[in-house]
Homo-oligomer: A and B are copies of this chain.
Amino acid sequence: MSGNTFGQLFAVTNFGESHGPAIGCVIDGCPPGLALSEADIQPDLDRRRPGTSQFVTQRNEPDTVEILSGVFEGKTTGTPICLLIKNTDQRSKDYGNIVQTFRPGHADYAYFQKYGIRDPRGGGRSSARLTAPMVAAGAVAKKWLAEKYGTTFRGCMTQVGELPIAFESWEFVSKNPFFAPVADVSALEDYMAALRKRGDSCGARLRVSASNVPVGLGEPLFDKMDADIAYAMMGINAVKGVEIGAGFASVAQLGSSHGDSLSPAGFKGNNAGGTLGGISSGQDLEVSVAIKPTSSILTPRESIDTTGQSTEVITKGRHDPCVGIRATPILESMLALVVMDHALRHRAQCGDVVHSLSPIAAQA
């Protein structure tokens, strides 16, 4: 109820602060009998972790996950799975100068007003570091969905700042630090290098999709598949916009061209983005998100302090100049958690039936 649990039947309760002793989560509702060890989870955490290139925060954190419960002799038992990640590189002194002031665009001000108290070390609870346990939980969901339905998830960056990134191939995504689907990322490197030199930050646009999603997942009125995806994505730090399928482009489309035709072989397009009436159609889920520029920058900004007086704020310390760069694994995990939860909800009400998949997906 205080918003630290994601999902209803595959419920992930997240805890921890950026610079506290540990962060982690408890997964409640995982089906029993899934083979699971830390080795299933660590790779996704490694894809997200800081310190891996010059374009992300230099905080060096191994983010090693430990399974504290819910697994016996290598298999899930159906009881809660606690995943713990100890914090090891907490350079808290970097943040001393922001305790009494509010960074423009940062959660500082709102937290202070809400609770009357906040943990300022590394952003405390508002840090994007808290996405790490979700990436870990998402890895568990991904594994179960892959084994049960063959469902897969992938994402990439489609724009950084003002630079659009034309899609070339999924194969390139894992070969550069940007998760960009292009062979040559030198333009991106130059853009980011210039930005960093100026002490500024920029936004990004990312795409995430899921294939082989069973037909019929999602609830009809409020917990629509697309509504829950929007909730999941907009809940990721710095996200300011979410589109499903054609998204904002659908405003200018006509009904005669927007609706994806059906043939006996499947759908003939994917303006829907994989969901009709809030329920998965068997088309690929296709989601696009906008990520705003980081608020912790070296450029001085006009602000106020906790007493309401005018002041100027500069954020020193280690920060991502574009949080979108490391966000792809996070988007994949959150999408996997949404699909997982709806897979369990569907079989609660409708039984353990998987309807025929419609094979024609959006063109990459």
Assess the B245–A350 pair: CB atoms within 8 A.
no
What separation, in Å, do the CA atoms of A179 and B252 have in the docked complex?
18
Q: A102 — which chain B residues lie within 8 A by C-beta?
A: 262
A82-B24, A243-B290, A293-B255 as given contacts; A2 in contact with B9, CB under 8 Å: yes
**Interface: A61 (CB within 8 A):** no
**CB proximity of A263 to chain B, nearest CB, Å:** 6
Residues in chain B near residue A200, CB distance under 8 A: 254-256
| Complex CA–CA separation, A202 to B256 (angstroms) | 9
Selected interface stretch from A37-45, A50-58, A167-175, A231-239: A231-239
A46 to chain B, nearest CB (A): 22
Q: Which residues of B contact A14 (CB under 8 A)?
A: 80, 221-222
Could you give, for residues 255-292 of chain A, a 1 whenever the CB lies within 8 Å of some chain B CB and a 0 otherwise? 11011111110001001110111111110000000111
Chain B nearest Cβ from A4, distance in angstroms: 5
Determine whether A241 belongs to the interface, using a CB cutoff of 8 Å to chain B.
yes
Q: How far is the CA of A277 from the CA of B109 in the complex (A)?
A: 9
Q: Contact string, A94-120, partner B, CB cutoff 8 A, digits 1/0?
A: 000000001111111111011111110
Q: A227-B234, A255-B299, A294-B255 are in contact. Are A80 and B275 (CB under 8 A)?
A: no
Distance in Å from the Cβ of A81 to the closest Cβ of chain B? 8
A5 near B28 with CB under 8 A, answer yes
Q: Which of A9, A24, A110, A299 has the most CB of B within 10 A?
A: A110
Residues from chain B with a CB closer than 8 A to the CB of A254 are 161, 195, 200-202, 293
Partner-contacting stretch, out of A122-130, A181-189, A325-333: A122-130
Residues in B with CB closer than 8 Å to A202 are 252-255
The interface bits of chain A over 209-226 (1 if a CB of B lies within 8 angstroms of the residue's CB, else 0) are: 000000111111111101
Given the known interface contacts A113-B216, A246-B292, the answer about A22 and B345 at a Cβ–Cβ threshold of 8 Å is no
B78 touches A350 (CB 8 A): yes
Query: Within 8 Å CB of A126, what residues of B?
Result: 220, 277
A69 close to B (CB within 8 Å): yes
Judge if A31 is at the interface, Cβ distance under 8 Å.
yes
**A90 interfacial contact with B, CB 8 Å:** no
Min distance, Cβ A158 to any Cβ of chain B, angstroms: 9
Q: Which of B68, B162, B237, B245 contacts A15 (CB 8 A)?
A: B68
Q: Which residue of B lies closest to A81 (CB)?
A: B15
Q: Is A228 an interface residue (CB 8 A)?
A: yes
Q: Assuming A110-B281, A350-B114, is B29 touching A1 (CB within 8 A)? A: yes
B349 and A78 form a contact (CB under 8 A): yes
What's the minimum C-beta distance from A40 to chain B, rounded to whole angstroms?
17
A69's partner among B20, B104, B205, B348 (CB-CB below 8 A) is B20
Residues on B with beta carbons closer than 8 Å to the beta carbon of A78? 2, 114-115, 117, 220, 349-350
Residue from A2, A72, A299 having most chain B Cβ neighbours under 10 A: A2
**Can you list 20 contacts pairing A with B, beta carbon distance less than 8 Å?**
A2-B9, A15-B81, A16-B68, A22-B69, A75-B117, A77-B119, A102-B262, A107-B278, A110-B277, A110-B278, A110-B281, A113-B282, A115-B216, A116-B350, A159-B252, A161-B254, A202-B252, A224-B234, A241-B247, A259-B293
